[in-house]
Amino acid sequence: MTQAPAATRATRRQHDREIVMLAVPAFGALVAEPLFVMADSAIVGHLGTVQLAGLGVASALLTTAVSIFVFLAYATTAAVARRVGAGDLQAAIRQGMDGIWLALLIGATVIAVVLPSAPALINLFGASDTAAPYATTYLRISSLGIPAMLIVLAATGVLRGLQNTKTPLYVAISGFVANAVLNLVLVYGADLGIAGSAWGTVIAQWGMAAVYLVVVVRGARRHGASLAPDAAGIRASAQAGAPLLVRTLSLRAILLIATAVAARLGDADIAAHQIILSLWSLLAFALDAIAIAGQAIIGRYLGADDPQGARAACRRMVQWGIAVGVVLGLLVILSRPLFLPLFTSDPTVKDTALPALIMVALSQPICGVVYVLDGVLMGAGDGPYLAGAMLVTLAVFVPAALLVPAFGGGLTAVWAAMTLMMAVRMLTLLLRARSGRWVVTGATR
């Protein structure tokens, strides 16, 4: 009678070690990424208000362009992890190379679109006449780094699939430091202004991509994997990523709609919304780190034909997601008197943000379940279901959000709609997790 609980505890400890080993470095790498934009903003901000405004518009476009293709990391992680679980490292790295080649092709296409259309894109985002030239300059130069950013996404997926999240952390930290130094030297030392900031970021991004490529190429040579582009493999990577692209676009639409609704409520509401959205994004990094661990671990178990191990790991990660969500929610509630003054001294904005902030805090356990199960199903290669579930969520969220101003609701109602959105996501993901249909074993799905 005592052996079963002891075995259960041992299994849980094993899962805990794996989750911590993968999630903690992943969290560090996730947090390091937005530091690029923060460093650019801090340095360009001293050039003048119009330069900073131009950077704000251009960086929003760049961030959106790159985030749309985050499937390069997610799909690659799942595919590589399956092959690692199956014990075929050669095929795992070959799969990773297909993802990297796809990233390069997408990056080249984006450059071809952005370079000639940069002024029109800047105008579309509503840049002022004085800020638009700076935004156009930054966007055109920075677009040259998009292939590097996409290569970094795909290569990060390769290493995560290989159960290695430490290298991406080291590369992210080194890239941030290099970016900050290059920006200072080129903006002020070389007196290149906002163009110097863009060139510094591009150089840092290609440096990061080069490091990743060296790591992956060494692995390919060690295991005898081909480095040449393979049309069938690239096409398979694109097909695996297409449902995740639908999922990502649906999520971006939800965030844009929420911001548009908040903007219609008034200046205080949109200001408070931006503050809360920044916090929500930061909290998401902590939960997404567990999801990344889930992608790698679940893919490995399924590739190793171990469905019971996959289910047990899923259960444990859900427990982690709930626990971390509770802790994050409590931290938000306890730190709100300190958090809000960091962003605003306007009492109206503070009063508007406070009840919405509590809504965000209460929703964190739900978010924990959502992020973890999202990662589990990605690791299982269950992209088509994730795409369909997110479209259902979008269909529920849109009328709920649009009814907020119609019924005289405020910002708290907007974030109630956001909480509803997360609850619908949780329901769809729990139904899939409990059905067991995601448990498809083998080196490929």
Judged against a pLDDT cut of 90, whether residue 346 lies above it is answered with no
Pick the closest to residue 112 from 48, 63, 65 (CA basis).
Answer: 65
pLDDT of residue 2: 41
C-beta of residue 393 within 8 angstroms of C-beta of residue 428: yes
Task: Give residues with Cβ within 8 angstroms of 120, minimum separation 6.
Answer: none
Cα separation, 248 vs 189, in Å, equals 40
C-beta of residue 89 within 8 angstroms of C-beta of residue 161: no
With b for 16 or more beta-carbon neighbours within 10 A and e for fewer, the 286-308 pattern comes to bbbbbbbbbbbbbbbbbbbebee
In three-state secondary structure terms, 47 is coil
pLDDT (mean) for 201-209: 96
C-beta of residue 33 within 8 angstroms of C-beta of residue 334: no
In three-state secondary structure terms, 442 is coil
| Helices assigned H by DSSP within 224-265 | 231-265
pLDDT digit string, tens, across residues 58-117? 887 888 888 899 999 999 999 999 999 999 999 999 999 999 999 999 999 999 999 999
Cα separation, 368 vs 291, in Å, equals 9
Average pLDDT, the chain: 91
Judged against a pLDDT cut of 50, whether residue 445 lies above it is answered with yes
Task: Give residues with Cβ within 8 angstroms of 19, minimum separation 6.
Answer: 290, 293, 297, 316, 317, 320
Pick the closest to residue 118 from 145, 147, 142, 140 (CA basis).
Answer: 140
pLDDT (mean) for 204-216: 96
Cα separation, 173 vs 33, in Å, equals 9
Cα separation, 351 vs 357, in Å, equals 10
pLDDT of residue 3: 43
Per-residue DSSP letter, 186: I
Pick the closest to residue 94 from 377, 302, 247, 86 (CA basis).
Answer: 86
Task: Give residues with Cβ within 8 angstroms of 15, minimum separation 6.
Answer: 297, 312, 313, 316, 317
Q: φ, ψ for residue 202 (rounded to 5)? A: -60, -45
Cα separation, 53 vs 67, in Å, equals 21
Cα separation, 21 vs 304, in Å, equals 20
pLDDT digit string, tens, across residues 225-245? 999 999 999 999 999 999 999
pLDDT of residue 369: 97
Q: What percent of the chain has pLDDT over 70?
A: 98
Judged against a pLDDT cut of 50, whether residue 188 lies above it is answered with yes
The verdict on pTM exceeding 0.85 is yes
pLDDT (mean) for 395-416: 93
Cα separation, 81 vs 306, in Å, equals 13
Pick the closest to residue 272 from 359, 187, 144 (CA basis).
Answer: 359
Cα separation, 136 vs 142, in Å, equals 10
C-beta of residue 359 within 8 angstroms of C-beta of residue 415: yes
pLDDT of residue 5: 67
Residue 138 CA: distances (Å) to CA of 40, 107, 131, 193, 209: 11, 17, 11, 10, 20
| Helices assigned H by DSSP within 69-165 | 71-85, 89-124, 132-143, 146-161
